[in-house]
Structure 1
């Protein structure tokens, strides 16, 4: 089943959701700000995305700038920061089986559905 990690307040996330709706395929919406992700779940998503944890961070978020910017963090510390502050997670993330993509731009979602 396709999953979208979604934040309705984000225009790119809403566009990603629209792409999935138009595809006609079944999918599950995960509202990760309400149902926060554990460090373990984040590590699994990062592995599917084939990126470094820092590449999943929204570096313009105030939380990042105030608490983490300019610091040398390990991968585990970056993952823990996202688990503690889910607003830091880039979105939308779409997972289809063993494939995953960050929908920026949202059209990248088409590559895995």
Structure 2
């Protein structure tokens, strides 16, 4: 089943959700700020995206700038930063089986649904 990791306060995430709704396919909405992801969940998502954990970070978030920017961090430390501070996670993320995309731009979601 398709999953969207969604933040309702984010316009890009709302656009991604609208695209999925318009597709007519079944999907699950995971509000990751309300249902925090585990490090295992994030590692699986990063693997499906084919990126490094750092590429999933929202680098303009205040918490990133104050607590992490400029530090040498392992991939595991970056994952833990996202577990502890889910606002750091780029959104929306859409997963369909073994494939995943960050929906920026929103049209990328069409590639996997």
Q: Distance in 2 between matches of 1:3 and 1:41?
A: 12
**1: CA distance, partners of 2:46 / 2:53:** 6
Please state how far the C-alpha of 1:51 moved relative to its aligned partner: 0.2
Could you state the TM-score of these two structures normalised by the residue count of structure 2? Answer: 0.99
Per the alignment, residue 21 of structure 2 pairs with 21
- For structure 1, which runs of at least 5 residues remain unmatched after alignment? none
1:46 CA displacement:
0.4
- The equivalent of 1:9 in structure 2 is 9
Deviation at 1:99, TM superposition (A): 0.5
How many Å apart are 1:49 and its aligned residue? 0.4
Residue 23 of structure 1: how far off its partner (Å): 0.2
Q: Aligned partners of 1:8 and 1:41: how far apart in 2?
A: 20
Q: Could you tell me how far 1:39 is from its partner in structure 2?
A: 0.6
CA distance in 1, matches of 2:62, 2:106: 24
| Structure 1 segments (4+ residues) deviating >6 Å | none
| Aligned mates of 1:19, 1:72 — CA distance in 2 | 37
In 2, Cα distance between the equivalents of 1:39 and 1:67?
A: 19
Q: Does 1:60 align with 2:60?
A: yes
- The Cα RMSD (Å) is 0.3
Instruction: Give the drift of 1:98.
Output: 0.6
Instruction: State the Cα deviation string for residues 15-54 of structure 1 (Å, max 9, x = none).
Output: 0000000000000000000000011110000000000000
Give ranges in structure 2 of 5+ residues lacking alignment. Answer: none
Q: TM-score, normalised by structure 1?
A: 0.99
